[in-house]
Amino acid sequence: MSSAELAVVPTSSRAKMPRTWKFFGTALWGALAFLAMSAGQLIAILIAVNLNGAGGINEQSIKAVAGHGAVVAGSVLLGLPAALTVLWLATRLARRSFASYLALRRPLAKEIVFGLAASAVLLVALDVIAWFAGYPLSPDFALDSVRSARDSGTVWLVMLGFCVGAPIAEEFIFRGFVFRGWSATFLGPVGAIGLSSALFAVIHQQYDWFYIAGIFLIGALFGYLRYRFGSTWLTVITHAFYNLMAGLQALWLIN
């Protein structure tokens, strides 16, 4: 709508026009979604501590269960609805459709093939870099999670959390909501990809800097796919594929 057209729209009507959250609004709602997800994850860990009966809730009892694969997966799945609720509220307050705001468009087959191929190439490249740099192909956190899940017969739960819960929650927040808002600001699409990928990497504090740097590159790839094809479901699929391959690799390495 042009400025001339906007001038003849009544003020009451302008107030009801759909909007896009800009830099600070996007940052605030994105942070709230992440905090809601983290709160859900913490609840799952506290439930696990209580079921474990490790002498009450304290730092030691939390550490005793927090690294177990089933607990990690359960916390991810429990945090998912909390994050989605916050994002839904943000889009409703913006008077926008949840699906359109987060670009929940079903991707074409050729787009999926491109995304999976790009993810596979990056996975192999990161493995080669890790091998030359003297780092394990899978970080200790992933190996410990998968090993504990294998020993307890809950590998299926880990795969569900890593390949469904985590991709949906993280992609809806970073490539869906955050990219939408920040790409419409002074950052532009490239800046939005870079900054959202940096935040995406930083939240993975269970890994050391080498793997965090790799996660930044993964986030940048997902951001590019979101920008090029305009579908967050595509990045969910590629994220799920990447986590599946990483999980299977960790399972193979512990055998």
pLDDT score recorded for residue 141: 86
Predicted confidence (pLDDT) at residue 12 exceeds the cutoff of 80: no
State the Cα–Cα distance between residues 23 and 66, nearest whole angstrom: 34
Between CA 155 and CA 135, with CA 131 as vertex, the angle to 5 degrees is: 70
pLDDT score recorded for residue 5: 45
Burial zone of 118 (CB within 10 Å; 0-12 exposed, 13-18 middle, 19+ buried): middle
State the Cα–Cα distance between residues 185 and 166, nearest whole angstrom: 27
Q: What is the pLDDT of residues 50-100, one digit of tens each?
A: 776 655 565 666 666 666 778 888 888 989 999 999 999 999 999 999 999
Return the H-helix or E-strand segment holding 22: none
Average pLDDT for residues 162-181, to the nearest whole number? 96
State the Cα–Cα distance between residues 117 and 216, nearest whole angstrom: 18
Between CA 181 and CA 151, with CA 161 as vertex, the angle to 5 degrees is: 155
Predicted confidence (pLDDT) at residue 144 exceeds the cutoff of 80: yes
pLDDT score recorded for residue 191: 97
Residue 188, number of CB atoms within 10 A of its CB: 12
Q: What is the pLDDT of residues 178-197, one digit of tens each?
A: 999 999 999 999 999 999 99
| Maximum mean pLDDT: which of 15-19, 140-144, 158-162, 195-199 | 195-199
Lowest mean pLDDT: which of 45-54, 142-151, 237-246? 45-54
pLDDT score recorded for residue 4: 45
Average pLDDT for residues 142-162, to the nearest whole number? 89
pLDDT score recorded for residue 2: 45
Query: Which DSSP category does 137 fall into?
Result: S
pLDDT score recorded for residue 60: 63
Judged by DSSP in three states, 113 sits in helix
**% of the chain at pLDDT higher than 90:** 65
Query: Which DSSP category does 203 fall into?
Result: T
State the Cα–Cα distance between residues 83 and 107, nearest whole angstrom: 23
Q: What is the pTM of this model?
A: 0.88
Average pLDDT for residues 134-144, to the nearest whole number? 90
Predicted confidence (pLDDT) at residue 131 exceeds the cutoff of 50: yes
Between CA 221 and CA 204, with CA 198 as vertex, the angle to 5 degrees is: 95
